[in-house]
Amino acid sequence: MIYLHIPFCKQKCSYCNFHFSTSLQFKDEMISAMKKEIFLRKEELQNNSLKSLYFGGGTPSILTTDEIHSLIDEVLKYFSFEKDVEITLEANPDDLNRTFLKDLSKSPVNRLSIGTQSFFEEDLKLMNRAHNASEAESSIKRAQDFGFDNLSIDLIYGSPSSNLEIWKENLNKTIALEIPHISSYALTVEPKTALENWVSKGKISTPKEEDQNLEFYYMTDFLKDHGFEHYEVSNFAKSGFHSRHNSAYWKYKEYLGIGPSAHSYNGTDVRSWNVANNQQYIKQLNSNILAKETEILSEQDQFNEMIMIGLRTIWGVDLENLNQKFSENILNYFNKEIQNKIEEGILEIENNHLKIPEKHWFMADGIAADLFQV
């Protein structure tokens, strides 16, 4: 699978610390550089038949449909698509006008991930989103009108501008709009963001973990009652609408990341990441130099990643795979550490897979971290 990082946005959301630029001055040069990177790295994937292609960002919907087409065409010069390939475009509601959607519906893109975040104006203003509450709803309906039924939306809970009743309304609206996939995240205060600045100056209150915990578990029960499977801590899907791309990440499959700050993984022990600087990325690729760093993952690193990722999913960690992959020292430590947590009910073994019971999923990262090799 291939991930294309589009490092441009109209404006900076208050909570976001991803790599992007609000200047489109070098958009053409960036697209050319990304095409060059695709060419230079065309041999890196063991399997050149792709199950998924994902436009992430940033804001990929800031591109024109012609630019999206051109990147897909470039990928197809060196890779093929499986018959049922999933091609996802992350999109902001304000970009999904009728003209854009009409043109996009004629492209190979068959899945939209819409950055809705909330259907309430006060939430959107706090997050400094480019769309308003009306666009949050109308963009989804327009996408459906143009034949996009494989839709996912992002929702953020636990905001100081919200409360449980507002969160319930957000979820009710999502069900009413018949959206088959939801990715939902607690609002977090990331370093070097506007949100961190506002919290430090006392302009807004720090998000409360107890409120986020309450809203998380309300969401899990509510969505399951409406036919969703909770298949990863932050992801819910109706039958047949799991994200193939993200599921491949969670199952340790190889992937190629194209664009500034994008990461790649060979499926075993090599990870690489591109420079998070647009100008440097373009300059190096203009000289046929890959703007990336590479890391060989130690046995400890591989173990920790497998534990972290696996325990966030409904599938858990395959213990047979774990026993085949890692040394006796690591396995002895691991088996010792999990015993108390199994007795406490924080971990369980089902069909030879180690899992966190769903009632403890809100604390999944902390539980996994307790098992890390250091």
pLDDT the model gives residue 15: 84
- Which pLDDT belongs to residue 144? 98
pLDDT at residue 345 in the model: 95
pLDDT at 309: 95
- Tell me whether residue 290 is in a domain: no
What span, in angstroms and rounded, lies between the C-alpha atoms of 166 and 124? 13
Whether residue 239 is found in the same domain as residue 371: no
Same structural domain, 34 and 139: yes
- Same domain, yes or no: 368 and 245: no
**pLDDT at residue 25, rounded to an integer:** 87
**Any domain includes 307:** yes
**C-alpha span between 31 and 37 (Å, rounded):** 10
**For position 24, what pLDDT does the model report?**
84
Q: Which of 292, 258, 287 is nearest to 275 (CA)?
A: 292
Per-residue pLDDT 10s for the chain (374 aa) are: 999 999 998 888 888 887 777 788 899 999 999 999 999 999 999 988 999 999 999 899 999 999 999 999 999 999 999 999 999 999 999 999 999 999 999 999 999 999 999 999 999 998 888 889 999 999 999 999 999 999 999 999 999 998 999 999 999 999 999 999 999 999 998 998 888 999 899 888 888 999 999 999 999 999 999 999 999 999 999 999 999 999 988 888 999 999 999 999 998 899 999 999 999 999 999 999 999 999 999 999 999 999 999 999 999 999 999 999 999 999 999 999 999 999 999 999 999 999 999 999 999 999 999 999 88
Judgement on whether residues 303 and 226 belong to the same structural domain of the protein: no
Inside any domain, residue 86: yes
Domain that holds residue 326: 298-374
Distance CA 5, CA 276 (A): 11
User: What is the domain-level CATH number for residue 225?
Assistant: 3.20.20.70
pLDDT value at residue 62: 95
Domain identity same for 133 and 229? yes
Give the model's pLDDT for residue 17.
Answer: 80
Instruction: Evaluate whether residue 282 is within a structural domain.
Output: no
Q: What is the pLDDT of residue 23?
A: 81
Split into its structural domains, the chain has a count of 2
Are 293 and 273 spatial neighbours (Cβ–Cβ below 8 Å)?
A: yes
Which tokens is 161 given? 């501008």
**Angle, CA 128 vertex, CA 60 and CA 172 arms, to 5°:** 85
CATH number of the domain at 328, please: 1.10.10.920
d(CA 57, CA 172): 28
Smallest CA-to-CA distance from 77 within 37, 28, 39 is with 39
Among 72, 66, 70, which residue's Cα sits nearest to residue 85?
72
Q: pTM of the prediction?
A: 0.94
CB 246 within 8 A of CB 155: no
pLDDT at position 18: 79
Q: Give a yes or no: residue 269 inside a domain.
A: no
Residues 86 and 157 reside in one and the same domain: yes
What does the H/E/C string look like for 91-132?
A: ECHHHCCHHHHHHHCCCCCCEEEEEEECCCHHHHHHHCCCCC
Return the pLDDT at 183: 97
CB-based contact 135:100 (threshold 8 Å): no
